[in-house]
Amino acid sequence: MAYASRFAGRTMIVTGAAQGIGRGVALRAAAEGASVALVDRATLVDEVAAEIVSAGGTAIAVHADLETFAGARHMVAAATETLGAVDILVNNVGGTIWAKPYEHYAEDEIEAEIRRSLFPTLWGCRAVLPGMIARRSGTIVNVSSIATRSIHRVPYAAAKGGVNALTASLAFEHAGDGIRVNAVATGGTEAPPRKVPRNAGMQSDQEAVWYRAIVDQTVSSSLMHRYGSIDEQVGVILFLASDEASYMTGTVVPVGGGDLG
């Protein structure tokens, strides 16, 4: 695989890069010439970085807890020190931890969902902005979800609604600084079983019924009546990260087979 093309000479941070969509973004970005900082709490991210390097690309693994501002600052500092100024940030951390009707969520579960699916994007943007403002150049792509209209994951939906609002407001605020900010609202996506689950607890029979309802609703809401692939999400994320989307900012692009979220 040749490592050169539309991201040649660019430094890109990809968060949540150990598995799933984040891993797919990191691998393809590196294949298209980006120097990639792969960020995750899971040490599995080391394997993904090694895969890129063994194929001739440039990548580092960064271990960070992006639910904290300290973790986000560490991420940007590590990327900058090793790879150079950050040109592109892909905020991919997030995901439903529990799936159940809202009245069954405990207080600590609601807070955990918001910390998991909103704060990493808030902190990531805050940490990378000063450098982008100083250079008057930068691109941010936030991974949101069409689940802002769905069932059995209200706290997650609220978090992703926050990501959408952040995307629009940040784009408005910093277009004059040469910074573009867009988001991809991912639909249901087929992916290998997670090596590090978001929820390590055993799923009860009732919880399995509630989760199945999410799957059924997602397929029903899609005009194509199917889940998408990781590659179908990655393609749009990297389009928004590239110069091909140079006249796009403040936009949330739904990639859900016709479900607009």
Topology given in CATH for the domain delimited by 11-192+200-255: Rossmann fold (3.40.50)
The strand pairing partners of 87, in sequence order, are none
Predicted pLDDT of residue 2: 43
Q: Which residues contact 69 (CB under 8 A, 6 or more apart)?
A: 123, 126, 127
Q: Which residues are catalytic?
A: 156
Predicted pLDDT of residue 97: 95
Q: Low-confidence residues of the chain, pLDDT below 50?
A: 1-3
Predicted pLDDT of residue 49: 98
Predicted pLDDT of residue 192: 81
- Nearest of 107, 103, 98 to residue 203 by alpha carbon: 98
Burial of 216 from C-beta contacts in 10 A (0-12 / 13-18 / 19+)? exposed
Query: What is the pTM for the complete model shown?
Result: 0.95
Predicted pLDDT of residue 1: 41
Q: What is the 3-state secondary structure (H, E, C) of 94-157?
A: CCCCCCCCHHHCCHHHHHHHHHHHCHHHHHHHHHHHHHHHHHCCEEEEEEEEHHHCCCCCHHHH
Burial of 208 from C-beta contacts in 10 A (0-12 / 13-18 / 19+)? exposed
At 191, is the secondary structure helix, strand, or coil? coil
Predicted pLDDT of residue 4: 57
Q: Residue 48 and residue 32: Cα distance in Å, rounded? A: 16
